[in-house]
Structure 1
Amino acid sequence: MVLNGSLFRLVIDVFSSFRNVLIASVALRIALIVYSEWHDAHSAVKYTDIDYRVFSDAAHFILHPSAGNVAQGPLGQWLGIGDPYTRQTYRYTPLLALLLIPSEWLHPSFGKYVFAGCDVLAGILIYNLLVSVILPSTPVSTTKDIKSKQEVAQDAATSMTRKASLLASVHLLNPLVFSISTRGSSESVLSLFVLVTLYFALKSKWTLAAIFLGLSTHWKIYPFIYGVACLGVIGNEHGVAKGLKGYLGGIINWRTFQFVFISVATFAFLGVAMYLVWGYPFLYESYLYHLQRRDHRHNFSPYFYLIYLTYPFPGVVAPELSVWRKFIRSPLTSFLPQMILSLGAGFLFGRSKRDLTFAWFIQTFVFVIFNRVCTSQYFLWYTLFLPLLIPQLSITPRWALIYTTVWLGTQVLWLSEAYKLEFLGENVFFSLWVRGMIYMAGHSWVLAGIMQAYRG
C-alpha cells in the first residue's frame, strides 16, 4: 500500500509539470504514428482510419487533374486543378484536402502529424486558458504567518500551474483524443479552431472570435450554435437593464450585430471562394448532403431505428407515404428538438464570460445526444471543454466515478451489440436501437448531474 501510494504521488508530481506533460504527449503521438505504419503493413485490420485514406485521395485528386477530374467552379477550370470530390465519400471542405497536399510530397503520414500537432496545440491553449482565465487566483492570506505576502503569492502561482498541468493532461493524455488523431481523423483541427474561438471570446477580443467562429462553421457546420451564447456575453459586458426589454437590448445591439456580421461574412467569404473554385460539388458534399444524411448502421442516435426502417435499399419499392409520415421521416424533423435545446441552452447560460465554457459544453453535449447521426468521434466535441470546466464543478470523487462509469458503460453496451451487426452479420437492429435509447438516457443523466454540479 505504501509503495502504491508513493508511486501515485510520483506520477502526480511528474505530470504536475506542464513541460513533462507536453513532452510525454508529443512522444506518445509520434510513437503511435510510427507504429501505425508498421501495423498497417503487417495486419489485415488497419490502425489507420479509413477517413485518412479519403482525405489523402482527395489531396491527390487536387494535385492530379484529368479529363474526369477537374474542379467545376469557374475559377477552378481556369486554374486547371483537380476536384477533391472525385473521391467518393469525401464530404468536407476543400481546405482539408489542401492541408494534406504535403502528404504527396513529403510522407504519406504527414497529415497524421498535422492532426497530432493540432492536438498538442489545443493542449497548450487549454493550459494557457486555465492559467490566465479559468483558474481563480489564490487570495493572499490575512492570517498571521511566517511567510511574506510575496511567498504566499509564489505558492499560489505554483499551485495554480500544477493544477493547470494536471487538467491539461486530461486532454493531452486522453486515449480517446490521441488515438483518434493518430489514426488520421481530422477532428483535432476543428477542436483547435473552436478553442481559439473560445480563447479570444474569454479575452473579449470579439472580432477575432467572430472570425474564428466563421472559420469553424465553414470547417464543420455545428459550431454556429456557439454564436448564440456569445451574444448574451457581449451584451452583458456593458451592463443590461432588467426585464425582457433589457434582455433583448443585451442581445440585439450594435456590438452583437457586428459580431454576427463578421462571423457570417467570414463563413460566406470562405464558402464563396470554395464555390468559385470547386462549384456545386463543394456546396452539396460539404453542406447539403449532411441535411439528408442517413446512417442505418454506425449510429448511436435515437433516430437510428426509424432511419433503418425507412432506408431506401436498392431494389425495394417503398410504399407511398402520407404527408404526416413523410414529415416524420424527414431528416429536417430531427433538427427541431436538437436546435431548440442547443440554441436554448446558449440563450439560457450564455450570460457572462465566466459561464461561456459551461454554456458551450451544454450546447455541444445536447447537440450530440440528439443528433441524427452520432459516432464515437462526436464525443470529442464536448469532452474538449472538460479540462476548462472541471474547476467550476463541485463533484465528489465518488460521483465523478459514477458519472464516468455510466458515460462509458452505456457506450460499451451499445458497441457490444454493434459488433454483432458489423462483424457477425446478425440481425440485431431493434436491440441495437434499444441500447441506443439506454445510451441516450444514460448520457442525459450524466449531463443533468454535471449541470447540477456547476458552480459558476
Structure 2
Amino acid sequence: MFLTISLSQLVSFKNVVLISGVLRIALILYSEWHDAHSVVKYTDVDYRVFSDAAYFIANPSLSNRAQGPLGELLRVGEYLQSPYSRATYRYTPLLAVLLTPNEWLHPSFGKYLFAACDIFAGVLMYKLLISVILPHADKTAREDNTTHHNKQLEAKSINRRATFLVAVHLLNPLVFTISTRGSSEAVLSLFVLSTLYSALRGRWNSAAILLGLSTHWKVYPFIYGVACLGVISSETGMPSDLRRYVRSFLQWRILKFVLVSASTFAALGMMMYLIWGYPFLHESYLYHLHRLDHRHNFSPYFYLIYLSYPSTSSPLDLVNIPAWQRLLRSPLTSFVPQMVLSIGTGLLFGRRKVDLVFAWFIQTAVFVVFNKVCTSQYFLWYTLFLPLLIPKLHTSVARGLLYLLIWAGTQALWLSEAYRLEFLGQNVFYSLWFRSLIYVVGNCCVLACIVNDYYA
C-alpha cells in the first residue's frame, strides 16, 4: 500500500513538470560547456541567427536603421534597428525583440525562454486532457458509474492518464533537444495550443486572435482556420446537402471569426511594416513564395529543384530555361497539392468540436509531408497533437508500435543515405530521392491507418 501511494505521488503532474524543467536547464548548461569545447556545436545554427538579429535590435547604429515609414517619420530608426541586417533572418521581428535579453542579460536567455514555452505547452495539454479530451473519451464509462466513489476513481484515472500522456511529450527527446538547442518552434507550439484550448472551450474570439498571432509568427497555422469555421457552422446544425453546407459558412459568427483573425494578422503585419518596412515583408513572407532550396531534406522536391537549379540568377537566363524546368522550380509545384490536401482535410474532418484535434493533426501532417522543404523540427508541428489525439484512437499497442516503426524507419532509411552524401561525399542523389519517396509513402500509410483507427 505504501509503495502504491509513493509511486502515485512520484508520477504526479507536478513532478513531471519539475523533472522536465530540470532536464531542460541541465541541457542548456551542458550546451554552453559543449559549445566551448567542441567543434560540432550543440546549439542550433538558427539560434545564432536569432541572437545576431537581437544584437542588431538592441544596438542602435545610424548605418542600420529600421526602414519602415513610421521609422522614418518619427526617427525611431535611429534607436530601433533592423533584425534583417543579419543575413538569413527570415522571421517576424517580434522574435528578435523577444530575444534582446540575450544581449544584456545572458546569451542563453532565448533557450530558457523556449524551454519555458515547452513547459507551458505541457500545462495546456494537461488542462485540455483532464477537462475536455479524456472526459469525453470516457463518456460512456462516466454515465455507467454515477456513484461518488466511482467518480473519484474516474478522476484519479484521468489524472494518471493525462500525466502519462503529457510526460511522453515533455520527455520526448525530439521535443526537449530542439528547444534547448535554441529552436523557436516551442513558441509557435504554445501559440497553436493556446488557439486550440480557446477553440475547444468555445471561446471563438480568443481563438481568432490567437490564430492571427500564430499565423503572423509562422504562416502555416492559417490552415486551422478552415476546421474552426467548419465547427462554428455546425454548431447551428449539420447541413443535409451541399447547398446548405455552403450556406452554413455564410453566417455572422463565421464572418466575425474571419474578421477578427484576419484583422489580428493584418494589424501585426502593418505594425511590423510601419517600423521595419519592405525587408519585413520580403524576409518573413515573400521570400518563402519563391524560395528555391536545393539542399537535401526529407521532401522529394529537393532533387527536382536541384536538377533544375539555375547556375545564374540573370533574368534572361531564367526566361530561356525550358518550360519543364520552370514548372519544377515554380512554388505551385508543391503549394497546389499541399494546400488542396491541408485545406481539404480541414473541410472534411473539421465539422465537430470533438474532432478538432484530429482535424488539426491530419491537416498539419499532410502539410509537412508534402511541403517542399521538410526537416526534423517540422515533425513537432503535428506530433504536438498526439498526446491529445491518442485517447480517441481505437488501436492496439502493437499497431501503435508498428506505426512508430514505419514513421521512424523511413526516416532512418533516408538518414543512412543522407550520411553518405553529406559526410562521405558520395553521389547518391538519385537513391536519396527514391528514399524520400519511400518516406512520403510510409507517412501517408500511417496517416491512413490513423484515420481508420479514429473512426473505427
1 CA distance for matches of 2:10 and 2:339? Answer: 39
Asked if the contact 1:16–1:163 (Cα under 8 Å) also holds between the matched residues in 2, the reply is: no
Matched, 1:35 2:30: yes
1 CA distance for matches of 2:454 and 2:331? Answer: 34
Asked if the contact 2:304–2:328 (Cα under 8 Å) also holds between the matched residues in 1, the reply is: no
Matched, 1:48 2:46: no
Deviates further, 9-18 or 76-85? 9-18
Which residue of 1 is the match for residue 120 of structure 2? 121
Q: CA 1:129–1:87 in structure 2 vs 1: closer, same or farther (change >3 Å)? A: same
Per-residue Cα deviation, 1:300-342 (whole angstroms, up to 9, x for no partner): 1121111101112359967923445423321222111001111
For residues 404-443 of structure 1, the aligned pairs below 5 Å read: 404-443=404-443
Per-residue Cα deviation, 1:425-450 (whole angstroms, up to 9, x for no partner): 22221111111111111111111111
Which residue of 2 is the match for residue 189 of structure 1? 187
Asked if the contact 1:394–1:454 (Cα under 8 Å) also holds between the matched residues in 2, the reply is: yes
Deviation at 1:44, TM superposition (A): 0.6
Q: CA 1:245–1:62 in structure 2 vs 1: closer, same or farther (change >3 Å)? A: same
Matched, 1:107 2:106: yes
2 CA distance for matches of 1:250 and 1:436? Answer: 40
2 CA distance for matches of 1:18 and 1:270? Answer: 36
Per-residue Cα deviation, 1:262-281 (whole angstroms, up to 9, x for no partner): 11000000000000000000
Which residue of 1 is the match for residue 81 of structure 2? 82
Deviation at 1:397, TM superposition (A): 1.1
TM-score by length of 2: 0.93
Which residue of 1 is the match for residue 342 of structure 2? 342
For residues 344-383 of structure 1, the aligned pairs below 5 Å read: 344-383=344-383
Of 25, 38, 56, which aligns to 2:20?
25
TM-score by length of 1: 0.93
2 CA distance for matches of 1:321 and 1:190? Answer: 39
Deviation at 1:292, TM superposition (A): 1.2
Matched, 1:203 2:198: no
Asked if the contact 1:291–1:332 (Cα under 8 Å) also holds between the matched residues in 2, the reply is: no
Asked if the contact 2:68–2:278 (Cα under 8 Å) also holds between the matched residues in 1, the reply is: yes
Which residue of 1 is the match for residue 133 of structure 2? 134
Per-residue Cα deviation, 1:32-60 (whole angstroms, up to 9, x for no partner): 00110011111111000010000000000
Q: CA 1:74–1:432 in structure 2 vs 1: closer, same or farther (change >3 Å)? A: same
Which residue of 1 is the match for residue 257 of structure 2? 259
1 CA distance for matches of 2:142 and 2:323? Answer: 68
Deviates further, 287-296 or 185-194? 287-296
2 CA distance for matches of 1:374 and 1:11? Answer: 44
Q: RMSD over aligned Cα, in angstroms?
A: 2.1
Which residue of 2 is the match for residue 161 of structure 1? 159
Which residue of 2 is the match for residue 327 of structure 1? 327
Which residue of 2 is the match for residue 3 of structure 1? none
Asked if the contact 1:103–1:109 (Cα under 8 Å) also holds between the matched residues in 2, the reply is: yes
Which residue of 2 is the match for residue 215 of structure 1? 213
Asked if the contact 1:301–1:373 (Cα under 8 Å) also holds between the matched residues in 2, the reply is: yes
What is the number of residues matched between the two proteins? 445
Asked if the contact 2:66–2:81 (Cα under 8 Å) also holds between the matched residues in 1, the reply is: yes
Asked if the contact 2:308–2:328 (Cα under 8 Å) also holds between the matched residues in 1, the reply is: no
Deviation at 1:140, TM superposition (A): 5.0
Give 3-state SS (helix, strand or coil) of 1:440's partner. Answer: helix
Asked if the contact 2:64–2:81 (Cα under 8 Å) also holds between the matched residues in 1, the reply is: yes
List gaps (5 residues or longer) in structure 1: 1-6
Give 3-state SS (helix, strand or coil) of 2:60's partner. Answer: coil
1 CA distance for matches of 2:322 and 2:159? Answer: 62
Asked if the contact 2:298–2:373 (Cα under 8 Å) also holds between the matched residues in 1, the reply is: yes
Which residue of 2 is the match for residue 61 of structure 1? 56
Per-residue Cα deviation, 1:329-378 (whole angstroms, up to 9, x for no partner): 21222111001111000000011110000000000000001001111110
2 CA distance for matches of 1:247 and 1:334? Answer: 29
The one-letter code of the counterpart of 1:427 is: N
Deviation at 1:223, TM superposition (A): 0.3
Q: CA 1:318–1:71 in structure 2 vs 1: closer, same or farther (change >3 Å)? A: closer
Asked if the contact 1:141–1:152 (Cα under 8 Å) also holds between the matched residues in 2, the reply is: no
Give 3-state SS (helix, strand or coil) of 1:395's partner. Answer: coil
2 CA distance for matches of 1:111 and 1:40? Answer: 16
1 CA distance for matches of 2:225 and 2:239? Answer: 22
2 CA distance for matches of 1:282 and 1:364? Answer: 26
Give 3-state SS (helix, strand or coil) of 1:295's partner. Answer: coil
Give 3-state SS (helix, strand or coil) of 2:248's partner. Answer: helix
Q: CA 1:233–1:140 in structure 2 vs 1: closer, same or farther (change >3 Å)? A: closer
Q: CA 1:328–1:46 in structure 2 vs 1: closer, same or farther (change >3 Å)? A: closer
Asked if the contact 2:308–2:325 (Cα under 8 Å) also holds between the matched residues in 1, the reply is: no
Deviation at 1:400, TM superposition (A): 0.8
2 CA distance for matches of 1:156 and 1:396? Answer: 22
Asked if the contact 1:197–1:212 (Cα under 8 Å) also holds between the matched residues in 2, the reply is: yes
Per-residue Cα deviation, 1:191-225 (whole angstroms, up to 9, x for no partner): 00000000000001000000000000000000000
Give 3-state SS (helix, strand or coil) of 1:239's partner. Answer: coil
Asked if the contact 1:141–1:149 (Cα under 8 Å) also holds between the matched residues in 2, the reply is: no
Q: CA 1:328–1:455 in structure 2 vs 1: closer, same or farther (change >3 Å)? A: same
Asked if the contact 1:292–1:332 (Cα under 8 Å) also holds between the matched residues in 2, the reply is: no
Q: CA 1:354–1:11 in structure 2 vs 1: closer, same or farther (change >3 Å)? A: farther
Give 3-state SS (helix, strand or coil) of 2:410's partner. Answer: helix
The one-letter code of the counterpart of 2:276 is: W
Which residue of 2 is the match for residue 4 of structure 1? none
